[in-house]
A and B are shown apart, each in its own frame.
Chain A
Amino acid sequence: MRKCDDIRGRLTLYLDNELQGDERATVEAHLSECEACAAIFARELNFLDAVRSEPLHQASPELRDKVRQIISEGRRVPAVSEKRSSAARPRRFGWVDAIAAGLLVLLLPVLMWRIVRQKETLGPSNFALMAAETHLRHVRGQLPLEMETESPQEISSWFANKVDFKVQLPNYQESSGQEKLYTLEGARLVNYQNDYAAYVAYRMKERPITLVITSGSVATPSGGEVIASKGLRFHYNAIAGLKVITWSDRGLTYALVSDLEERGQKSCIVCHEGTKDQDFIEPLKPH
């Protein structure tokens, strides 16, 4: 029996061709004489055969041509359509160009002003972008939850051995005794910077709210509009129609994503529903 346990523990390595010499021969010898282990082996082999049977994607002939050109010329080659347009016969300076030039002169001060403003406010951080993107993917049904529950405690326990930090979700709804304004839907892991981040999904009146949590050493909030409240600095960004608030607190970095009104500050109630926290949310409202 102990032999069986030992062999089964090494079946994956055997199936992945990671065993050589004596180790490989030992597994093969055992499989030839133990029906129970041979059955497990056959089941695993079937599963892996199904997964390994077909490539998932194939490059298009157009991409193949482009890559051939890159290899032979050592540089990117413009697409045929781009070449054609740039190689078109030279045009004379006509009335369309004159109007365009006039508009450019008129709009130049506005453009310059916008560029200066953009420099004053940095763009969203990669963490905020990732949070917005995962929110969108989840809403589109492309990122299913790995566990579904309305219990914050169950979510905290589920993350316990999966991420290197502690995910502790408050349960203000029960303690406040107020009307249930939102529901917790579940959680999953998402990949960020070669590490896992915790993804928690809520819903408030049919509108999804996402909370993404990672270690402060992996992501630092930056960019966007900075709003200070209760000793924390919140970075607010509007990304693809979504309101994204990122901040760091006690070694963790958070992103809260929603499509709620104004700056999406109402989404903060997923953790701060109690009346005592209203002054916490207030500064996030646009003035």
Chain B
Amino acid sequence: MDTHGNKVGFGQAALEHLDALYGYAMTLTRDTTEAEDLVQETYLRAANAANRPEGDSNLKGWLFVIMRNAWLNQLRHKNSGPRFVDLELNEQPVDEMQESPHVVYIRKLEREQVREAIESLPDAYREIVVLRDIEGFTYQEIAMVLNCPAGTVMSRLGRARGKLRKALATWQTRTRIRAV
């Protein structure tokens, strides 16, 4: 039985990972509506789980495992038609008041390039780059989320970054050509 204090503590800690979970849901689904549904399903399962991890250290990884399992479960049971992909992103504006318009413009351009490059990766590569480089999980934590050996994490991450580097180099070359 959950005490009120535990519930509040868990809720606050879990809510801190909302953006990260939403980002991962977008990586898995590539669709804003499906991602929002998946986030809600994840929190629902977490809120009703009997065995939550002790302390905050494992909470994020645990929530990611729940999300991935929920997603795989949805894929297995989905038989009512294909997922329609919508890459229009409903992003919230970041506070950019402190920076000059030029810096803001360059930042946006770079961020857009990085995002496009990550989006262009094959699903499994995109997923591992997001888990390591956006969410900052360790190899061991990624292995837990993906349910695979840590060696696979290392090799897949290496290949994914190789592709990402290539994609970014292409974009940078294109931008330079445009600038000239």
Residues of A within 8 A of B (CB): 12-13, 16-18, 47-48, 50-61, 63-64, 66-68, 70-72, 74-76, 123-124, 126, 129, 132-133, 136-137, 140, 142, 144, 146, 188-191, 194, 196, 223, 239-240
Please determine whether B134 and A55 come into contact, CB atoms closer than 8 angstroms: yes
Q: Collect the chain A residues with CB atoms within 8 Å of residue B132's CB.
A: 16
Q: What is the total of A-B residue contacts with beta carbons within 8 Å?
A: 153
Question: Counting CB contacts under 8 A, is B76 at the interface?
Answer: yes
Please determine whether B47 and A71 come into contact, CB atoms closer than 8 angstroms: yes
Question: Counting CB contacts under 8 A, is B62 at the interface?
Answer: no
Residues of B within 8 A of A (CB): 7, 10-11, 14-15, 18-23, 26-27, 30, 35-36, 39-40, 43-44, 47-48, 72, 75-76, 78-85, 87, 89-92, 94, 110-111, 114-115, 118-120, 122-124, 127, 129-130, 132-134, 136, 138-139, 146-148, 154, 157-158, 161, 163-165, 168
Known: A18-B138, A59-B39, A66-B40. A47 touches B165 (CB 8 A): yes
Q: Collect the chain B residues with CB atoms within 8 Å of residue A60's CB.
A: 36, 90, 92
A61 to chain B: closest CB distance in Å? 8
Known: A17-B138, A58-B19, A67-B40. A129 touches B78 (CB 8 A): yes
Nearest A residue to B26 via CB reads: A57
Please determine whether A57 and B122 come into contact, CB atoms closer than 8 angstroms: no
B131 to chain A: closest CB distance in Å? 12
Q: Collect the chain B residues with CB atoms within 8 Å of residue A196's CB.
A: 122, 124
Known: A124-B79, A132-B82, A133-B82. A64 touches B11 (CB 8 A): no
